[in-house]
Amino acid sequence: MAHPRQHLLGIESLARQEIESILDSATSMKEVLRRDIKKVPALRGKTVINCFFESSTRTRSSFEIAAKILSADAVNWSSSGSSTSKGETLIDTAKNLEAMRPDIIVIRHGASGAPNLVASRVGCAVVNAGDGAHEHPSQALLDAFTLRERWGSLEGRTVAIVGDIRHSRVARSNVYCLQRLGAKVRLCGPPTMLPLGVEALGCEVTSDLRTAVGGADAVMMLRIQTERISESLFPTGREYSRYYGLSRAKLDWLKEDALVLHPGPINRGVELEPEVADGDRSVILDQVENGVAVRMAILLRAAGAGPEATSA
């Protein structure tokens, strides 16, 4: 069955049914990922260009592995050493890549809205792999998938998101995604890291960690976005860790079965103590594995193929 080719530019514009369709497809993809022979012909003959203007390890690798499992030809492009360093514009770069006839461009860019701009100028599908402080839709989908896998449903659950809310595209996409799936969201961070008017997103907002995590079913700790911070928003890493880091002692504030998530990379000893990052409540490595399955589902959707294509 053919499906329309679709961009994935953010979570905000997705209906609950569309989110659940991607998560359902990812369930099938995870079964493929865990086979001895991790290869299906679903996207044979298709080309995916991973176009990264910002450094990335896990997101780019995850998209590349996802494309290769689906038998697509995956090409990695980075701005370092490319024509952009010679002054080429984003649109010129995108148009030149489009002329090579890819089926999907996966783009990460430091400017909010860059994937939307590219999508308006090219004929192939575009997937947002993170743009500025705007959205990171594939991360939010893999986070929701990880929680749904543990709970069956997010309906009525409470998730606390802690840290640098102001600069976090992960937080923004997760607020949209988790709430659309029926969860309540609490946002917590130093006052300097909470954007003005964030309450308008429908979340509870606090600067007290104990209040944020008390009674929550999951706690999502965010990475401090040092590359996007041009001013001093907290005195020292030690002080940040004291008030907003999750230590083994602070686990007593959480529900006994509460899960701990982090989008990575972790600043160990700042956002999370190693004993917490590697502890029984942590599902951080589950997030990484599920990231491949979710991105397989995203690429299938972008190419206009359904999960049934993997059974061919």
Angstrom CA distances, 298 to 7, 16, 170, 275, stand at 9, 15, 17, 33
**CB count in 10 Å sphere of residue 40:** 18
Give per-residue pLDDT as tens, 57-67: 899 999 999 99
- Mean pLDDT, the chain, whole residue set: 93
Buried b (16+ CB within 10 A) or exposed e, 61-70: ebbbbbbebb
**3-state DSSP helix/strand/coil % of the chain, to nearest 5:** 45, 15, 40
Contacts 24+ apart (CB under 8 A), 66-69: 66/29, 66/292, 66/293, 66/295, 66/296, 66/298, 66/299, 67/43, 67/299, 69/32, 69/33, 69/38, 69/39, 69/40, 69/292, 69/296
Q: What is the pLDDT at residue 229? A: 58
Please list the residues that pair with 205 across neighbouring strands.
187
**pLDDT, averaged in runs of 10, over the chain (312 residues):** 82 97 97 96 97 92 98 90 77 95 97 97 97 96 98 98 94 98 97 93 97 98 74 76 95 96 93 96 98 98 83 60
3-state secondary structure of 282: strand
Q: What is the pLDDT at residue 81? A: 64
Instruction: For residues 164 and 138, give the distance between their C-alpha atoms in angstroms, rounded to a whole number.
Output: 19
Q: What is the pLDDT at residue 78? A: 83
As a whole number of Å, the end-to-end CA separation of the chain is: 12
Instruction: Please identify which residue in the block is written with the tokens 């907003």.
Output: 244
Closest CA to 160 of 60, 55, 101, 244: 244
Instruction: For residues 143 and 135, give the distance between their C-alpha atoms in angstroms, rounded to a whole number.
Output: 14
Instruction: For residues 122 and 131, give the distance between their C-alpha atoms in angstroms, rounded to a whole number.
Output: 18
Q: What is the pLDDT at residue 86? A: 73
Q: What is the pTM assigned to this prediction?
A: 0.94
Q: What is the pLDDT at residue 230? A: 58
- The answer to whether 95 and 51 are in contact (CB under 8 A) is no
Closest CA to 163 of 199, 195, 196, 138: 195
Q: What is the pLDDT at residue 306? A: 73
Closest CA to 185 of 198, 168, 196, 166: 198
